[in-house]
Amino acid sequence: MDRIAEIRRSTQETDIFIRLNLDGSGGISLEYPIGFMKHMLATFARHGLFDLEVQASGDLAVDQHHLLEDTGIVLGQCFTRALGEKRGILRTGSGFFPMDETLARAAVDLSGRPFLVFDAKLSGIPLISGTSSFQTDTVEDFWQGFTQGAAATVHLDILRGRSDHHQIEALFKAAARALKAAVTRDPRAPELVPSTKGVLV
């Protein structure tokens, strides 16, 4: 069965469409108005081997917060919809990702219980490139939205690091690897919901 989902979420603040294939090859089609975040979404898809299409716009004249948080919500909802009852998946996954001086760790549980632990100690100083900038404090907003939409327990930690760019990118790569593991089909229990409750909601 194909594990594909697409969702559009439109509010007075943002308009976001995402199509996700959990069993892809890392293919991307991204129309995203924030360059650094577009890079992070591409990185996430490539390292998770998810096919990802995103079209997004938002009230950037106000702040980047709304767009980042809502993008996380919709992406998380796509995971939830694509997984359905979550039968036959491993459910949990974890991963480390080194990036030069930075070491990131991610652990996820597609438990049905949204909870985020985010320990990155970012500087809060925007990343500037030419005439564009990225508000680094919105990274946590993105993952809070994702955790809510995916109804997942997510732990993201930077064990060491200096560059905000490296820390954020390593977190996205580690999270992608952890989620790739969590959604992997378990050949020993292809019809089993991995919970003693019998459901993961």
- Give the CATH number, domain containing residue 44: 3.30.230.40
Q: Total structural domains in the chain? A: 1
Q: Which residue has the tokens 């919500």?
A: 73
192 occurs within a structural domain:
no
Task: State how far Cα 19 lies from the chain centre.
Answer: 13
Answer yes or no: is 96 within a domain.
yes
Q: Is residue 55 domain-resident?
A: yes
Q: Hey, which residues does 154 pair with through a beta bridge?
A: 108, 116
d(CA 147, CA 168): 17
Of the pLDDT bands very low, low, confident and very high (cuts 50, 70, 90), residue 34 is: very high
Least confident among 16-25, 75-84, 104-113, 125-134: 125-134
**pLDDT value for 53:** 98
121 has pLDDT over 90:
no
Domain of 147, in residue numbers: 4-182
Q: How far is CA 79 from CA 133, 164, 174, in A?
A: 29, 27, 17
Average pLDDT over residues 42-69: 97
